Structure 1
């Protein structure tokens, strides 16, 4: 038995044990498969930054708005206006073709029971929580980066402690300081985190950069996944792509970069260098999977190397899909065992669909086996829960 197969068996057994303890007791008797939402979000508010260290209070993010747009609040961090703060006045921004409605107190985690109640209504047993603010670079100075990430991770640890075993999360790291990042990874692991959030571009570095090897080594040791969520940590690239003449600029800034980073991972030495590390590419749909596999194969074989029949399985790559993806086509390249699905809870992006999982479970064009893998078996293996 190969090392990778042994590891897959181990995390499957661990996941089964965790499910028996926390989730499945109320479902096994009814023959239902527990459901994991692989991409849900928390929306940062001023309460988030109450978890910042007292010595770092001067680095605390604050809400600010321009005089010309008094209702367009953004986070002021490290003396720069960063991402828009998703406050209550957002209904005019929602898409009209999908359900993205969530209670304000639930998406902001001001009332954790409200979130749990809404999960019950949606038929979701476990949510893996991702950030909102860190989709772009948040801080330039190392000390600010460390302080803000630390506060966010403490906030999520507090949420996890109150979630009755139904929340897991992806930690954010101050990658400007590897030693601090490693410390925060260990704290996060001890407090319910199952993944490390990585942006497709981190400042001037891409994911295969050896600078990140200590992060990957520790993630492998801690049995944490790498969650490459749609994002872009290079401000210069974002500024170029954020054109006022391109209403779809976020596609190039975030979603396309996620597919590109998967290709970079596949053709790099990372799959062999870290043979137990699992990688997820989150919130960019899965429609790009066949294209990336095809492009990676051409480059592999051009260098005289043998490319695996299913690189997603061989390289431990998981991808979140959407209901409007051509899943029959995608499965032929990605396989059944490497697909996930998320609601993008709390957001209203192209991937957001609060009913995504219930819609998937009601589909008659997909096998029950495939559906169960997407909502249960696959995310359990990826996130090792």
Structure 2
């Protein structure tokens, strides 16, 4: 059986920015490392971007957090694709759709520099797509604050190959996804049959500033403002769903497919769709019937109940590789096989690859021997 990992990641390295145009060289991201005894602890690596220190989880992957992971640095950084492909083969995974790690937060204030950094990232990922023989697909980054530059970048990534989605957070620079500013981006994505990948992360500087003086909850990672991780993480992905289902956005772009990833599973849909229907906005359910909504699930969920409510065509899964937190799954096949098999082979095929292939609009083939 084919296995498509709908949500994997890369830990950006200095190689990621090697494709920057010469005029941006002096403003390129530079790795900064710190001792472990600061308040950042093992997240002791950061990027210096345009004279500002930016902490994006374990990106760059040179700090203690990355060195302690079970994946090699080559696999984390995608310096060469052999290490990642080996990790995938060991886990019987044929494809990964790679998402950025630096997108946990806003990249930089200057939109022109932001667009240049995104171009370099996309070129890097397009190269990895080719090196991997097509097994490493990716969600492209585009500057939502500049639709003109974003449209040009979509055209460029389509020409390069390997991009199957456009990455976005539930809020982009303090704007909801249904903001009319973003419409040219959606129109271009729809024209090229690219999905919109709504992923966990904070695209709202104003929301982060509200919590800037709060103490962190015990165990909370230091790159989130204190007490804010759950709000600016999974809940903004869910808010992105409301932006789609509660406005004319889904009607204005009737062929656009949407993936909602890393939002603590899919059972939140029960309350969300129920609330919309009680408010007389029942067209949200039609988005499932039309095959335009996809949501990543967790193995602890009641798949049978969710399939009864929304059908079985919306479910996808992701490993979060090489991240190692509560959203990560070290082995998708092992963790999801048992709950999926209870619903039969057809359901298992949908969860393991058919749904993701429809979301990302590509025709997969098997690369590694997988269980039937």
TM range (shorter): 0.7 to 0.9
Distance 1:310 1:357, change over 3 A: farther
Larger helix fraction of residues: 1
Distance 1:101 1:290, change over 3 A: farther
Does the residue aligned with 1:336 lie in a helix, a strand or coil?
coil
Q: d(CA) in 2 for partners of 1:213 and 1:48? A: 28
The answer to whether the aligner puts 1:56 opposite 2:27 as a matched pair is no
Distance 1:367 1:177, change over 3 A: same
Cα deviation 1:171-224 (Å, max 9, x = unaligned): 001222211111111121222100000111111211000100000100010000
Q: d(CA) in 1 for partners of 2:349 and 2:151? A: 35
Answer yes or no: is the 8 Å Cα contact 1:289–1:333 preserved in 2. Answer: no
The aligned counterpart of 2:249 is 270
Q: d(CA) in 2 for partners of 1:45 and 1:81? A: 15
The aligned counterpart of 2:179 is 209
Does the residue aligned with 1:347 lie in a helix, a strand or coil?
coil
Q: d(CA) in 2 for partners of 1:89 and 1:56? A: 25
The answer to whether the aligner puts 1:135 opposite 2:104 as a matched pair is yes
Deviates more, 1:36-45 or 1:46-55: 46-55
Q: d(CA) in 1 for partners of 2:152 and 2:204? A: 24
> Displacement, 1:272?
0.8
The aligned counterpart of 1:155 is 124
The aligned counterpart of 2:94 is 125
The aligned counterpart of 2:188 is 218
> Displacement, 1:252?
1.2
The answer to whether the aligner puts 1:257 opposite 2:225 as a matched pair is no
Q: d(CA) in 2 for partners of 1:333 and 1:147? A: 43
The aligned counterpart of 2:8 is 40
Deviates more, 1:207-216 or 1:66-75: 66-75
The answer to whether the aligner puts 1:376 opposite 2:353 as a matched pair is yes
The aligned counterpart of 2:367 is none
Matches within 5 A, 1:228-377: 228-241=198-211, 243-247=214-218, 249-284=228-263, 285-299=265-279, 301=280, 306-307=282-283, 309-314=285-290, 316-363=292-339, 364-377=341-354
Q: d(CA) in 2 for partners of 1:66 and 1:79? A: 17
Aligned length: 344
Q: d(CA) in 1 for partners of 2:211 and 2:345? A: 41
Q: d(CA) in 2 for partners of 1:91 and 1:156? A: 23
Structure 2 portions without partners, runs of 5+: 221-227, 363-372
Q: d(CA) in 1 for partners of 2:132 and 2:259? A: 24
Q: d(CA) in 2 for partners of 1:78 and 1:92? A: 24
> Displacement, 1:315?
6.8
Q: TM-score, normalised by structure 1?
A: 0.83
Does the residue aligned with 1:337 lie in a helix, a strand or coil?
coil
Cα deviation 1:215-249 (Å, max 9, x = unaligned): 01000100000000111211121233463243453
Structure 1 portions without partners, runs of 5+: 1-32, 95-99
> Displacement, 1:287?
2.2
Distance 1:319 1:93, change over 3 A: farther
Q: d(CA) in 1 for partners of 2:198 and 2:5? A: 16
Q: TM-score, normalised by structure 2?
A: 0.86
Pick aligned residue for 1:73 from 45, 56, 61: 45
The aligned counterpart of 2:368 is none
What is the RMSD of the two structures over their aligned residues, measured on CA atoms? 2.2
Answer yes or no: is the 8 Å Cα contact 2:81–2:128 preserved in 1. Answer: yes
Does the residue aligned with 2:55 lie in a helix, a strand or coil?
strand
> Displacement, 1:57?
0.6
> Displacement, 1:328?
2.5
> Displacement, 1:345?
0.7
Distance 1:64 1:272, change over 3 A: same
> Displacement, 1:88?
4.7
